[in-house]
Amino acid sequence: MANIFEIEKFLNDLLDINKFNDYCFNGIQIEGKHEVKKIAVGVSFNKQFLDEAIENNADMLLVHHGIFGKDFFKIRGYFKKRIEKVIKNNITLMGYHLPLDAHLIYGNNAQIAKKLNLNNIESYDIGVKGNFDEDIPFEKFKRMLEKIFNRRDLLIYQNKNYVKNVVIISGGASYAIESLEGVADTFITGEVKEHIRDIASEMGINYINAGHYATEIFGVKAISNLLKDKFNIENIFIDTYNEI
């Protein structure tokens, strides 16, 4: 059993949350019972995740996509029902957004880079960049991605037959492509927009949209394992898969 404020302080320090001008408050977003025996971990705070967490007797929710908006927000409609259920069940909601993307050990992007066995991993935007020792045939690289993300419906714009220098920015990061010319031959992210196909082609960059959800399961899993070891807390990952 651990105290929610001890957990929050540990994660706030680890993830260095004050470095980020985020879209949300990072840390405890809804205060529930102070002593935690079991944490439900997931990507997004929604009804399906919440219902499964309650069924599994979780005391705390730890998510990547929690409540967005740092100041006042309206509590009405479907959102009111979510909040009401959290409060009635005395559950704590804790969310970490950009700090959990960017962390060089436990972050979404660092975890993906580790699974790819990239070398020389360093920060890039809120993601990472790294490289292979030698060129990897694109088809081999594609099979690696299908295994890591557990999906064969990756949206791919292939513009090179090899992969060596890779940038990874999970979630909604198509905006970053224009900074990659001369930096990387391959970009992995979690979304695509209409103009991206042509920019990737003209820049000669392999562009992989692996899905917003699929690229962001790794950070919360890594953090939950860390909390399990440090605080001896049971945890469960609740997979509410989203193809987007």
Question: Could you state, in chain order, the average pLDDT of each consecutive group of 10 residues for the chain (244 residues)?
Answer: 96 98 95 97 98 98 94 84 96 98 98 98 98 98 97 96 98 97 97 98 98 98 96 96 94
Q: Say if residue 212 carries a ligand binding annotation.
A: yes
**91 backbone dihedrals φ, ψ, rounded to 5°:** -105, 145
pLDDT value, residue 74: 82
Same domain, 40 and 62: yes
Within a domain: 197: yes
Tell me the pTM: 0.96
Within a domain: 244: no
Is-contact 167 186, C-beta < 8 A?
A: yes
Reference 126, options 99, 166, 165; nearest CA is 99
Same domain, 183 and 223: no
Q: Which two tokens stand for residue 14?
A: 């680890």
Within a domain: 242: no
Reference 58, options 30, 79, 88, 89; nearest CA is 89
Same domain, 142 and 200: yes
Same domain, 14 and 113: no
Reference 200, options 236, 234, 157, 233; nearest CA is 157
pLDDT value, residue 178: 95
Same domain, 106 and 204: yes
Number of domains in the chain: 2
CB-CB neighbours of 103 under 10 Å: 23
> Residue 114's domain is classified under what CATH number?
3.40.1390.30
Kindly give, in sequence order, each residue whose CB lies less than 8 Å from that of residue 6, ignoring residues fewer than 6 positions away: 231
Strand, helix or coil for residue 179: helix
Same domain, 10 and 57: yes
The range of the structural domain enclosing residue 200 comes to 102-211
Within a domain: 114: yes
Same domain, 119 and 182: yes
CA distance 201 to 191: 17
Within a domain: 243: no
Q: Say if residue 178 carries a ligand binding annotation.
A: no
Within a domain: 207: yes
Same domain, 159 and 115: yes
Same domain, 78 and 130: no
pLDDT value, residue 9: 98
Q: Say if residue 181 carries a ligand binding annotation.
A: no
Same domain, 92 and 109: no
Same domain, 54 and 137: no
End-to-end CA distance of the chain: give it in Å, rounded. 36
Is-contact 36 3, C-beta < 8 A?
A: yes
Q: What is the dihedral of CA 147, 207, 216, 173, to 10 degrees?
A: 180
CA distances from 205 to 17, 152, 182, 198 (A): 32, 20, 10, 10
93: left (phi over 0), alpha (psi -120 to 50) or beta: beta
CA distance 13 to 21: 16
pLDDT value, residue 72: 64
Same domain, 91 and 116: no
